[in-house]
Structure 1
Amino acid sequence: MSHSHDLPQQEKLKPKPKAVIVGGSIAGVSCAHALIRAGFVVIEKSRKPPKGSPTGAGLSLDPLSQELIRSWTGRPELLRDITCPLAIDLNQAIDDEKTRKILARDDHFNHRAAHWATLHDHLFTALPPEIFLWGHLFLSFSVSNDKQSVKMKAQVLDTGETTKVCGDLLIAADGCLSLIRNHFLPNVKPRYSGYCAWRGVFDFSGSEDSETIKNVREAHPELGKCLYLDLAPGNHTVLYEIPNKRLNWIWYLNQPEPDLQGNSVTTKVSDDMIQKMYQDAEKIWHPALVQLMRETKEPFINAIYDCDPLEQIVWDNVVLIGDAAHPTTPHSSRSTNMSILDAAVLGWCLEKSGLKNLTAALEEYQSIRLPVASKQVLHARQVGRIKQGLVLPDCKPFNPNTATQEECKMLLQRGVPFFGQNPFLRSSDLLLAGKR
């Protein structure tokens, strides 16, 4: 970006365009980074400051996301410190005798594993603190008659009073159950996948030499650089290491849609549910993994949803990004990576076109991201149905113990459309945005 002393006097006096972001998740804070670099003033509306969840979740960052985060924070060395390598993508079948066989393996996976809360904090602390409006609960919004501005109404939780925040652009980063998306697309409803996920993060700091960890490492000798996926008929598990001596595990199991309360896809679990989970796990999984599950504090259940791809993610000066734009199942490691790339592409389009051409910038963002995200959402859906042995339109349900080599190719994350590519836009353009 140009320095102010290079600008004509009238340019110096012009106020910066203002963007209002609703949602303080990784999509929201990524968007704040990208838009500040594009010359926008950013106001981020959040209910409360982020706080690391004791349960939280692990995630996998692809190489482009890693590059973008490094360019935003200005502390490239820190990202390496808060992530672990995921060099191997390994899918294995497990039979009734708990014997494993390799179904598909990729030794050039080149992702890195992070804990959600740690990555969020890394992005959040690199932003100017004054952009955040804490304790503001989103209520509604309206676009001006001339389509030049947008007004967001929020409730100040401390006082109960209503306040208005105005901007040139409203960015909906309010997640897979987005209220802003629902305003434009009231008939778009989340689609239940047919399965839920038990998940947990096991902290083994101070117990590195315990019997449990020794057994887990013996059963998973490449832990620390490998994404392990074990498949049994109608089930699969995921296990990988994340920084600060923690192991992230997930068990997907087919079941009817749970009765969810409120605006959340996480269900409350009782002690009885947890005990039953342990008992069921013993029938299917390797004893080392079952012991890890038993010793994990506060395991929880996520119901897995996605949406059919949207036909539109831009309306006037309102734009959807992240899970608001493309709720997806987690089987292709795309949710966080798509959110980060959405933010970067939006920032690039806005910097290129400027506020005068806001409509053109948002249309370009939509034309770049919509086809890619749509294909990735549908691919992740298909992979989830394959791994869970659910009905597929064009072939018989997948059975890991009888699968052919050809059938197993779909298991690898390398099969996701545009894996390792950035179609319609060169990665160098995104990384240079904001530096001109």
Structure 2
Amino acid sequence: MNTADLGLPVDVPSTALFTDQYELTMLRAALKAGTAERRSVFEVFTRRLPNGRRYGVVAGTGRVLDAVENFRFDPGVLGFLRERQIVDEETLEWLAGYRFGGDIWGYPEGEVYFPGSPIMRVEGSFAECVLLETVILSILNHDSAIAAAASRMASAAGDRPLIEMGARRTHELAAVAAARAAYVGGFATTSDLAAGFRYGIPTVGTSAHAFTLLHDRERDAFQAQVETLGRGTTLLVDTYDVAEAVRTAVEVAGPELGAVRIDSGDLLLVAHRVRQQLDELGATDTKIIVTSDLDEYAIASLAAAPVDAYGVGTQLVTGSGHPTSSMVYKLVARADSADPKAPLVPVAKKSSGGKMSVGGRKWAARRLDADGIAEAEVVGTGPVPAELADRQLLVPLVRGGTVVAREPLDVPRDRHIAARANLPLSATQLSRGEPVLPTEYVHGRSGS
């Protein structure tokens, strides 16, 4: 596995240290207690959606699969653990041969989810599963938050394309993951070349204000850009006077000018004025792109404006106010011995304070109404009711340690569009509200 495919610096050999120390100390104690090999089931879920959100979006699954494959304790990693005395030699010997050999099931990437949805289920020995907790959560929490924000923005934008351009507003590696998640959530392109290189996302970009300021005259900057990139380029017109810049842009490029970009001011008012001016100058096919700290609410407010595309940065890569999805990774069932045939026993946290969990190995299905629209998220243990058998949501991702669910990034992107369209219409409302689907629990026998 090429670490570049994981969004990692080339000098990071594996994902094994993308973890919290207590995963390894639990492993050490479990090995000593003789419980490390007990068959176990962990599930990823969230107890609640971010305040006001109507649905969540599963994103990062492909990155999780890469991370699991690349979770290896090579000599450098083992040397670090030995030097810090984080674990003993017996545990180091066990880690040296670590390869996840269990099964992973999950909601397919791009699918929507709700409170209690078992978004991912990891099965194997306690030892092999517990080590993956942190890296799985770090990927899913981040990417799903970005995809949810992207989905809301895409709903607000309608048929107008969205450009992801937030790389300068977040960590350089997070920027690549954010661009990927945004594409899953409905964005059309990214300005981040690393995301284009690693994930095949279409990339775009022309010039910033610095290019205009570099030249003695705005006309000179426009002339240089058009001569280099062609008449179909996008010219930035708000460095000085917008009206004068639009006039100059059309004079330089002619009516074949591809687009103008507006990055400041009252975007609604300025867009109307620019559209009128372009039309009067004969540039009727020249498009208008707006940027400037947009979020889903700003995009929705521009629905009546003559805008052709939106560029979004800061608000997207920070989850539009919700940078995490609050997902957790909990043990929900385990065997009472290391015997591979020992039955699973449901287990669950019972403490107060809103952090209780539901024990048992779960399935999930989405019930539809008479019109074929989703009406409930049904989560259960034991047998799946016959009427829900063909509506189950979890699919196999890893079998016996082998990834079985790789897919091109366009597949989860299209899947999300279809999943969102299958929700009640109120799912796309930006006003604050409860999850658009209730979660119903069906309790049954939850053995192996």
Scaled by the length of structure 2, what TM-score is found?
0.26
Q: Which has the higher strand share?
A: 1
Name which one, 1 or 2, has greater alpha-carbon Rg: 2
- Taking structure 1 as the reference length, the TM-score comes to 0.27
